[in-house]
Each structure stands twice: as structure tokens, then as C-alpha cells.
Structure 1
Amino acid sequence: MAWTCLTPCLVTFFVLGIASAHVAPPSDVILYCGNLVTKVAWRYDNPPAGLRYRVDIGKVFNSQGDVGPLWVYPPDLQADLSFLSDQTEDYFLAVTAVLGEEESEAAPGDGITFSYYMDSPATQKCSLDLPPATVSDQQDNSVLISFQHPWLKYWQGRMWRHEKLDNPLPVFKYDVTLDKKQFADLRCAEKTCEHTLPVDAGQAKHCATIRGELERVSVHGTQDYCALPVQDNKHIIIAVVVSLLVLAVVSIILLLVFLKKTKSSSDLPPSLASKRFNRIVEEERPDVSLPVSDSSTPLVMVEGTTAVSPIDSEALGEPEPSERGDASDASDVSYAAEEEQRQAYMGGEQMQEDEDTATSEVHAYERRQIFVGLSPGETIEGYRS
């Protein structure tokens, strides 16, 4: 009878054990929180088809305000919990693998508790990083520490207290350890936090560490903030100025070389330049043609002068013989015109010398008919080569 009663219990326990062991829980569940960014991540080897993850979230102090579970589907293995940033609350979470109607054990077994509240008993406390700070040496053996108010970096625009810029900024209280000397209970409610602190002039380098709290949230400096001596700063400035001057000189030299090469490449070669000059001269030189008498027109020879054709006489403006009369001034004008025509004609013969030579084998000479005056009213006919 005892065995009969025990058997169903063993079967039930065995079935529940198999069902529980059928879905493995996630492993390596880790929470990352800081700077109002919160994420939970885990690892799961060889997830079967249809597997999903449930992130259970709750509040410690306000049980009635529990947050509903978040569902995550493979291949994702993390969840963003940045909306859990109330510094007055502690949160807890756990991750469970679910396959159909079956689910694994929660991981980690005792869950994870976390909070931004600096005095919280939670296992993991979140904090803020101090905005970038500068430490500058001053002339009166002091340093100036300056950084942005943490509220403007992390909470500006968030739907939380003091979200409007019209409201005054909350007081940021911080401590500074400078050259192993602590300056505590420094306060800032301005957009830029600045404070001047004395230093030992005998030290060549001054470094500071900064820690504080804002709205009960811890704020930590990410490093030691050091300042160089004033003399070193002057050397740095001089080096920068000299470097800029050298760079400017080099740039000007390179520019001049570039312009010179560009200009020289645009010039024409000497041969092309000479041809271009000759072409320009030929185009600008006036076309002077010498009048040459037509070989078909008889030339008239006056006493002691070269004969001029009637057509040439008309071109030169010479009056006809019947119109000249016996006046001496008219004879002089006629003689000058005839002499000028003769010189022009002789010049034409010189220009045609090469052509006449080339054709001399065909035409030994060209005969021109002329009339020579022997006495007034008497002329003879002749030919001129």
C-alpha cells in the first residue's frame, strides 16, 4: 500500500524534473548601468527553435509599481532598461528562457538588484561620470578647475525633475584632491562649474581628482586631471606659432613654383613663335602692287624717255600730248611721271627675273612694240625685249 501511494508521487516528481530540465536557463547574466544607461545581457548556447526570453523586473520599495516583463527574441541576447533611472528606487530583475508552455529556472537564482541611489543596499549601484574637466595654471600659484554641470549632460530633456531649463539647476556638491591636499564641500549651481584652488609653486605638475554627488547619485571623475606649468604652456604656444609660420612659407614657395611651371608650359615653342610672328607681319604688311603695262598695248617713246602706254598715262594722270603745249613746267611734270613709271616697270622686271629665267628655254625674250620719235611729227616703229 505504501508503495502504491509512493509510486504516483515519484512519477509526478520525475515528470516535473524532466519538464524543468528540458529548458536550460540563460547563463552569464550581467547588468551594465551608468550614466543613466542600463542594460542586461546573457548567454545561451544552441537555442532551440521557438525559444524566447522573459526579463522580469520589479521595484523594491514600491511593490505596487512593478514593471511588466520584457520579452526578447533570438538572436538578441540583451535588453535595454535605461528607463529605470529613478534615483529614489531600487530595482530587481531576473531572466528566464521560455519554450512554448515550458520555462527554465530564473537566472541568476537570487536575481539582481540595482539602484542609482548612492546609499542603497542594492548589490549593484550605478553612478555618473564627471563631464570632461580642465585644470589650468594661473599666475598667482593657483589652478582653475572647470567643467560642465553634470545635470546638463545627463538629465537635460528627460522627463524628470528639473527637466525645464527655466528651473534652477540642482546643486552639485563635489570634493577635489589636488596635490594630495583635499578641498571638500565645493558647490556649483551654474552651467559651468569653476573653482580656483591654491597649489604648491615648488611642484612642476599639478593633478586633481574629483568626486561628488548630484541628487543622491554618485559622480566620479574618469581620470586624474593635470595641468602643465605656465612656462611649458608658453613653449607650446611658441612652437605652434613657429610651425604655422613655416607651413605658410612652404605653402607660398610651392604656390610660386606651381605658377611658374604653369606659365612656362603655356608659352609656344620658338619655332611656332617665329612662324606666328612671320604670319602676323605678312598680314599687317600692306599689299603694294606695281603697275605693269599690258604687253598688248603699244608703248610710246618720247624723245630721250621711255615710252608709256596711253592706259598708264591715264592712270598716272598725265595729259595727252595735244593738251601739254610748250610750257616747260608741264614738260617737267610729264617727265617726272614717265620716270616714275619706268622705275616701277623696271622693278617689275626684276621681280619676274626668276620666272623669266625658268621659262627662258621656251621664250628667249618677249618682244614689245614701241614707237621712237626722231623729230616732231616723225616716229619709227621698233621692238624691245
Structure 2
Amino acid sequence: MDSAIPTFLILFCFWIHVVGAKLPSPTNVTLDCHNMQNTLQWTYDQLSDGITFTVTVRSINSEPESLSTSATSIDLSKYSDPDRDYAVWVSAVNGSEKSEEVPEDGIEYSYYKDAVSPMICKVDFPFVSVTREDKHLHLSFTHPAVLYSPGHKSKKKKSLDSQMRLPIFHYDIHIINQTESHKHSCSESVCQDKLPVHDSEKIYCLIMSGEMKKISVQATEKYCSKPLKAAGISALAYILPIVLVVVGGLLIVLMVFVKKTKSMPLLPSSLNISKSNGHRPEQKSHESEYSSAHLDPSSPTLLIHTKPGHSRLQ
């Protein structure tokens, strides 16, 4: 009996050691799925050399896939088919030891907008450029399949169009403060549209939503047009009157100058240079202006002043 007690104690201690040495599982497991980018991440308090993690991805009617990583996150973007529902688990591995997979029921997600999965992943509506022209709104945005396709940042849109056939993107446009909505579709890399509006002097804001391959595409903001300037008013309209005033002023000054120049007296004839021979005209002698007294060469006649009634000779 006494010999059995030590054996029991030994077995009990060994069992405690085995249970206590079991590899702990990761904690705080979360999944972020958005814009066809899926990231699973977790925390692990006992990171050490040799610790790796195994991520298991399961989908209906497909074999489970196992992915291994030494980081505490992993990219699952390739698992974004809207025709499938996915469930993921993660476990810690150290040599031959493996922790339990967590979460217990896995994390289920799907991009199918009507799926029964607890997590429905969505796609943001691309940025929409809204411009005004007369009484119409012009819309332009990149097709979501081009914007969110793998490697879209390193490829040109034209090459993407040649490599893949874009799915039809159905979208709705609702103009704020207007009752009607507009339904459109697009299969080009750049989607463009034109909408009539009632009052060209107002600012219009749009709410956009759409669906692509059963994926919900929702706008995260309103897209508004810029205020339309008054009709016919432009930079030229401000500059042209100034130019006309300046030109008119210069013309008036020129006309006054010409008029005053014509009314000025001509130079005296004595200062004018003859155009015919290039010589100055002869000037009349000052003596010609006065009468000259011409004397007869005979003896001078004496002129004696006499009174009336007296003869010249006595």
C-alpha cells in the first residue's frame, strides 16, 4: 500500500506537467475584410524561436487549405469569391506541438451581399468626379473591378482591360433633394454618365450605390458639384472692358493732339526755306519802306516863306 502511493503521486505529477506544458492558443483573433482586401490577425503572449502559426481556411464544397506564417497576421485577399462563404481558424505550432484552433467556431465571412454569414464584406464606391455644364451633370469614376483588382496599382487600365473582361457594374444615382433616382450600368474601365438637372444655379450632391458580381458597393461620402458661375462671366469678361477703356482713352488723346497740332500758326515766311531751290528768299531792304528824296542836279531852289499879300520881291 505504501509503495502504491509514490507511484500514484508520480503519475499525477506527470499528468499535471503534460497538461501545463500544452501549447497555448493565439488570442484576440480578428478579421478585416474590405475592398477585396482580407487580413486575419491575432496576438500571442509567448512568442519564441520556433513558434509558427497555421491558418486554416474552409469553404463549402472545397477542401480545407492550411497556410503557415511566423507573423501574427496573414493576407487572405485571394479568398474573396462572392459565390463562396469562408471560415478561418488559427493555431500555434512549435515543432510537433500544436495548440487548439481558435476561435472555436471559426470566423465566417462572405462578399455575397445576401449571404447568411455573420460578416458581410463590402466594397467602397470609387471616387466620383462631378462637373457642371449648362443644365447637366457629368459623372466619371473608375470601374470597381479595375480599382480593387490585385495589382491594379502597378498596371495600367488599358492593360487591365486587355487581360480581363470587366463584369457589369450596376449602380444607382440619387440626387439629394430630388425624388427620382437614376439606374445605370457600366462595363468599361472608366464609367461616365450625364444627368439632366432642373436649375443650373444650384449645387448638386449625389448618393451612389451599386452591385458588382453580387457584391455590395456603397459610397462612404456624398459627391457634390462645384457652384456654377454666372452665365457668360469669365476672366475675359472682366479684362475686355478694361482694355476697351484704355484703347478708347488713347484714341481720344491722339485725336486732341492732332487737332491742336493743325491749329498752331505756321512759321513766318522769312523763316521758311524755299522748297524749290533750297535758298532763303531775299529780304526787302529797310530803305524801301521809306520815300527817298531825289535832288535835281541843278542849283537848289530857295524857298522863302512869304506872308499873304506880300510879293516875293520888294
TM-score norm. by structure 1 comes to: 0.50
Task: Give 3-state SS (helix, strand or coil) of 2:229's partner.
Answer: helix
Contact 2:122-2:215 at 8 Å conserved across structures:
yes
- The total of aligned residue pairs comes to 223
1:171 to 158, 168, 172: 168
- 1:62 is aligned to 61
- 2:82 is aligned to 87
Gaps of 5+ in 2: 153-159, 240-314
Contact 2:202-2:228 at 8 Å conserved across structures:
no
Task: Give 3-state SS (helix, strand or coil) of 2:15's partner.
Answer: helix
* Bigger radius of gyration: 1
CA–CA distance in structure 2, aligned partners of residues 176 and 35 of structure 1: 20
2:144 to 145, 150, 156: 150
Contact 1:135-1:146 at 8 Å conserved across structures:
yes
Map 1:281-300 → 2, pairs under 5 A: none
Map 1:1-385 → 2, pairs under 5 A: 15=15, 18-19=18-19, 22-59=22-59, 61-63=60-62, 65-67=63-65, 69-73=66-70, 76-140=71-135, 142-155=136-149, 165=162, 169-181=166-178, 182-201=180-199, 204-231=202-229, 238=235
Aligned CA distance change for structure 1 residues 156 and 97 (closer, same or farther; 3 Å): closer
CA–CA distance in structure 1, aligned partners of residues 17 and 111 of structure 2: 39
CA–CA distance in structure 1, aligned partners of residues 123 and 192 of structure 2: 19
Taking CA–CA contacts closer than 8 Å with sequence separation of 6 or more, which of the two structures ends up with the larger relative contact order? 2
For residues 314-348 of structure 1, give each alpha carbon's deviation from its aligned partner in whole angstroms, at most 9, with x where no partner exists.
Answer: xxxxxxxxxxxxxxxxxxxxxxxxxxxxxxxxxxx
CA–CA distance in structure 2, aligned partners of residues 86 and 124 of structure 1: 14
Aligned CA distance change for structure 1 residues 183 and 24 (closer, same or farther; 3 Å): same
Aligned residues: CA RMSD: 3.6
CA–CA distance in structure 2, aligned partners of residues 199 and 120 of structure 1: 37
CA–CA distance in structure 1, aligned partners of residues 25 and 231 of structure 2: 59
Task: Give 3-state SS (helix, strand or coil) of 1:152's partner.
Answer: helix
Amino acid at match of 2:26: P
Contact 1:128-1:220 at 8 Å conserved across structures:
yes
Task: Give 3-state SS (helix, strand or coil) of 1:231's partner.
Answer: coil
Q: Which structure shows the higher helix fraction?
A: 1
Task: Give 3-state SS (helix, strand or coil) of 1:25's partner.
Answer: coil
In the TM superposition, residue 233 of structure 1 has moved relative to its aligned partner by 11
Contact 2:56-2:67 at 8 Å conserved across structures:
yes
CA–CA distance in structure 1, aligned partners of residues 232 and 86 of structure 2: 53
Amino acid at match of 2:218: H
- 1:344 is aligned to none
Contact 1:131-1:149 at 8 Å conserved across structures:
yes
Task: Give 3-state SS (helix, strand or coil) of 2:188's partner.
Answer: coil
For residues 103-136 of structure 1, give each alpha carbon's deviation from its aligned partner in whole angstroms, at most 9, with x where no partner exists.
Answer: 2222222211112222211222222222221111
Aligned CA distance change for structure 1 residues 203 and 20 (closer, same or farther; 3 Å): farther
Contact 1:20-1:102 at 8 Å conserved across structures:
no
CA–CA distance in structure 2, aligned partners of residues 120 and 226 of structure 1: 33
Amino acid at match of 2:199: A
CA–CA distance in structure 2, aligned partners of residues 164 and 146 of structure 1: 17
Amino acid at match of 1:53: F
For residues 250-272 of structure 1, give each alpha carbon's deviation from its aligned partner in whole angstroms, at most 9, with x where no partner exists.
Answer: xxxxxxxxxxxxxxxxxxxxxxx
Contact 2:134-2:200 at 8 Å conserved across structures:
no
